[in-house]
Amino acid sequence: MKIKSFDVYILDLPTIRPHQLAMHTIVSQTIVVGCVTDEEGNEGWSEVATIGGASYGESTPEAIKANIDTYIAPLVIGKDPIHFDKIMYEVSKQVRGNNFAKTVVEAAIVDLAARSKGVPAYELFGGQIHTSLPIAWTLASGKTETDIEEAKEFLHQKRHNIFKLKIGKGDPFKNVEHVRKIKEAVGDQARITVDVNQAWDEDTANYCIAALEDGGVSMVEQPLPTWNYEGMARLTSRFKVPIMADEAANSVQEVFQIAKHRAGNSIALKPCKAGGLTQTKKVASIAEAAGLGLYGGTMIESSLGTAICAHLYATIPEMKFGTEIFGPLLFKDNITVNEMQYENFEVVIPNGPGFGMEIDREKVKHYARKL
């Protein structure tokens, strides 16, 4: 049962509201979907999401598709999908970087391999430890009272008790005050975290983190630019509140350097950053060995990409900071027949086979770009 073909689609999915980051505001989310087919016609599906074209990183959706079609897909044709780790090792020797593209390819092959065995994908990564995981939600109206009302409503619904605020855009001091008021309003009912998306310099970070720590915020994500390892190390040493590395924590090598120099004391995992599920497990192992807390991050994937993340995160012993794989809740529509489930402040890990999601071909066709 060998791989016969690999197809890639770029889709644009509408969101229920704008989702604001420091570098981009999402009003329509672009995802890249992969479909691998074997000689018997069996399929495996995958997804990665991108943010704002080139505004978040170097992997644009157009580049992901072009590099898979031209350079990676030819390397996997004729291979046995059950040997996905060997396949991706061989790909890595001929294709440098392109971690998002590699993730699309590996995840689709994993889905196919797991389906061929009739097992959930998490069984191929050591087995399931968690049946569900804590799930955060991003408060993003920009209005303090509106965000407080939304947080209280989700607490009442038992949907979320971890809330993140993106505070990298606009006046940092006003943003900090906005966060402190929300924390004061929800009290001990919820954890509040912030994501700066690299927007501060070290002087701003020193002032703002002190105020956030005093206000009861439980984690500060990527306050400084990715290159500033020394600054991140100083912040980590100075403050009690955990400092999380996200955009700076991609490859196995980068996470090793963060651990070595303590340029953060927690890590945001995302399969697309590391170049696939196998590499993300290695990243998690380095963090665990160094005593760094782990967080299941998101690129705002739809239901398929979220299930992929969920299956992997379910195999990691301790996700100290929970997850934020809320993407499906932000979309007006999804590309799978079944939906991700959220209950009792947690995301439920879907059962297999594969990643446990059934693709809706008509939705893929409807939202796919006509290239």
Return the SS3 of 294.
strand
Strand 136-139 with 43-50, pairing: unpaired
CB 334 within 8 A of CB 148: no
CA distance 44 to 37: 7
Return the SS3 of 245.
strand
Exposed (0-12), middle (13-18) or buried (19+): which is 79, by Cβ within 10 Å?
middle
**Residue 158 among the catalytic residues:** no
Which has the closest alpha carbon to 334: 1, 5, 8, 16?
16
CB 23 within 8 A of CB 96: no
CA distance 334 to 354: 18
Cα–Cα distances (Å) from 268 to 26, 102, 192, 219, 362, in that order, read 20, 19, 16, 12, 34
Out of 102, 164, 166, 183, the active site residue is 166
CA distance 3 to 19: 38
Q: Which two tokens stand for residue 3?
A: 């791989």
DSSP string, 305-361: HHHHHHHHHTTSS--TT-B---HHHHBS--SBSS--EEETTEEEPPP-SBTS--B-H
Residue numbers annotated as active site: 166
